[in-house]
Chains A and B, each alone.
Chain A
Amino acid sequence: MSERPTPSPDAMIFLDGVSKRYPGQEKAAVSELSMEIKRGEFVVLVGPSGCGKTTTLRMINRLVEPTQGRIFIDGKDVTHADVDRLRRGIGYVIQQIGLLPHLTIADNIALVPKMLGVKKSERRQRAEELLEMVGLDPATYAGRYPRQLSGGQQQRVGVARALAADPPVMLMDEPFGAVDPIARKKLQMEFLRLQGRIHKTIVMVTHDIDEALRLGDRIAIFDPGSRLAQFDTPLAILSNPADDFVRDFVGSGAPVRRLSLLKVSDVIASSASDAPGTLNAIPVDAGETVHRALELVLTARAEGIEVCVPGGGSRYLDLQALLTAAAQPTKVLS
């Protein structure tokens, strides 16, 4: 009998051969899924409806009990741990937001701390801190009721509530799905900034590949047969789709989308020259995306870019070379 796998030390969430089979259904909703999600990583589960992504998410906090396999959180096997205690240590954000309409915003946020026995004054303070963190003025919003807030504001509160007990892990089920498209993009960007500060381990479900590419450190793409088709960084998925399904799912715009994921520093290594020649170049920071660099070039009606490299000196790249480099996945990733 072989040794069962155990999570590596830097894994926050580890799924070991997890399956979910609903009674009366022939096909398993999730079958034999193994995944390791690292501490502080933002992983997005994406796929068509019915692919098992939500079931997978809900198995992590055991709102869906797996029929088979083991779940580890922070190195501990929680497959049979006390569910309520497990869930209090995991933030949970859902599309319907699920704020309790009869409680004020502050009381909604303080719900889990209250269950954990935190003192009232501390709960209040924590709620105000969190409101601040998600960009809502506590003086204005703490005493309001959910229905007095817009959808976008409600979901900020939803995020604040999930963060209330300072859980290391957050699960988000289509968190921005019910918000209108303009507010959604704004929320996504704000959330990315927030994540940059708090470094939670986040697992998010979405059916929107653009959202996945925009937010995820790594993306897990499920195919309609509930198989994990590819689990990799957005750039790798755009550059080297594992199979036809992934290629289709990502859609036709992959080369263009890559431009906003590629950094200038990724491309200069392969194809830049050291001399400006006759090139009319504009200076660009190595940390900018290729998309941004192109924008700068086109706006300035320039012909190329000049990038300062560490250790002094500059490297130069004309427009054609920039595009060619960006379009060559293998070169970039090697």
Chain B
Amino acid sequence: MSTVAIEEASVPGTRRSTIWVLPLVVLVLLGGVWAYVSSLTLDSIETRTLAPEVVLTALWQHVQLVITSTLLTIAIGVPLGVLLTRPGTRRAGAIVLAAANASQAVPSIGVLVVLAMVFGVGFWMAVVALVLYALLPVLRNTMVGIRQVDPALIDAGRGMGLSPREVLYTVELPLAVPVMLAGIRVALILNVGVATLAAFTNAGGLGSVISSGISLNRMPVLIVGSALTIALALTVDWLAGLAERVLHPRGI
């Protein structure tokens, strides 16, 4: 999935008039899946793989993967992005941006599998892979957000006697917030997606429900896993859109 494309895609959903469409879609999706599953007579394999505790565990693992990796992504990406906009780091910043842009061509499954093979499998290795993959939008948007701040505002701030640190906290960061939030939202969406692949490296998540549906050739399992994944992705995107709106500084 490409950062650029997702970033452009996540804008329209935040409009006031359409804000309730997405949760409605999610509810219809979940209701439909529930009705579909209840209309079936499940065989023993399906009953076992679709037991509520199995599915809920997978969902919870998925959520944990997404939250942990997104928080880590922010914790690394934002300070690093700020650092790379300080004077004297221009070259380093350009190199990092170029590298980050080039990394778009790396398939997410590749990052995940190579890391698993070199360093081992499990939750934390999956988190490392997710963070590596989602770092780009956060890092890049932090840098872009800060760099697009009108130099006149920084000049005014410096001229009033704000120290470079005060300028960062009262001028640059608040004004970069909208762009940074957009980057964090993209990171979240990427993380939900790549976390489904974490099933292949024994880190659990909803991907494991989908993949058992495929490997056992049980369509109800596959459909439940996919539908839940889609519902989770849409919900996360919706929540991120709401957060973006709430956290958007007034006056901008």
**Residues of chain A having any CB pair with chain B under 8 Å:** 61, 63, 83-90, 92, 94, 96-104, 111-112, 115, 145-147, 161-162, 171
Contact = CB atoms under 8 A, between A and B. Distances in A.
Interface in B141-170: 150, 152-153, 155-163, 166, 170
Given A101-B251, A102-B249, A146-B251, A92 B159 contact: yes
A221 to B, nearest CB: 24
A103 B251 contact: yes
Contact of A147 (B152, B162, B251): B251
B252 interface: yes
Nearest to B249: A102
B171 interface: yes
5 tightest A-B CB contacts, nearest first: A98-B156, A145-B251, A87-B161, A88-B161, A96-B152
Given A88-B160, A102-B174, A96 B251 contact: no
23 contacts: A83-B161, A84-B161, A86-B161, A87-B161, A89-B161, A92-B159, A92-B160, A94-B152, A96-B155, A98-B152, A98-B153, A98-B155, A98-B157, A98-B159, A100-B153, A100-B174, A100-B175, A101-B249, A102-B174, A111-B170, A112-B160, A115-B162, A145-B251
A84 B156 CA distance: 12
Contacts of A145: 250-251
Given A94-B152, A96-B150, A145-B250, A102 B158 contact: no
Contacts of B156: 92, 94, 96-99
Contacts of A100: 153, 157, 170-171, 174-175
A139 B162 CA distance: 28
Contacts of B252: 101-102
Contacts of A102: 174-175, 249-252
Contacts of B153: 98, 100
B67 to A, nearest CB: 28
Contacts of B249: 101-102
Q: Which of B153, B156, B166, B170 has the most A CB atoms < 10 Å from its CB?
A: B156
A73 B215 CA distance: 80
Nearest to B174: A102
Given A111-B170, A115-B166, A145-B250, A94 B159 contact: yes
Contacts of A103: 251
Nearest to A162: B160
Nearest to B153: A98
A245 B44 CA distance: 99
Given A87-B160, A96-B150, A98-B153, 4 more contacts: A87-B159, A94-B155, A102-B249, A112-B160
Given A96-B150, A98-B153, A104 B251 contact: yes
Contacts of B160: 87-88, 92, 111-112, 115, 161-162
B158 A87 contact: yes
Interface in B26-59: none
Contacts of B250: 102, 145
B152 A85 contact: no
A98 B162 CA distance: 13
Nearest to B160: A112
A222 to B, nearest CB: 21
Nearest to A86: B161
Contacts of A84: 161-163
Contacts of B161: 83-90, 112, 115
Q: Which of A63, A84, A162 has the most CB of B within 10 A?
A: A84
A89 B161 CA distance: 8
A97 B153 CA distance: 8
Contacts of A97: 152, 156
Nearest to B165: A84
Contacts of A96: 150, 152, 155-156
Given A96-B150, A100-B171, A115-B166, A63 B251 contact: no
Interface string B231-246: 0000000000000000
Contacts of A104: 251
B246 to A, nearest CB: 14
B159 A61 contact: yes
Nearest to B163: A84
B53 to A, nearest CB: 47
Nearest to B152: A96
A171 B160 CA distance: 10
Contacts of A63: 155, 158-159
Contacts of B171: 100
A178 to B, nearest CB: 10
A289 B195 CA distance: 80
Contacts of A101: 175, 249, 251-252
Contacts of A83: 161
A270 B249 CA distance: 65
A87 B161 CA distance: 4
Contacts of A115: 160-162, 166
A161 B160 CA distance: 9
A145 B150 CA distance: 17
Contacts of A146: 251
B250 to A, nearest CB: 7
B234 to A, nearest CB: 30
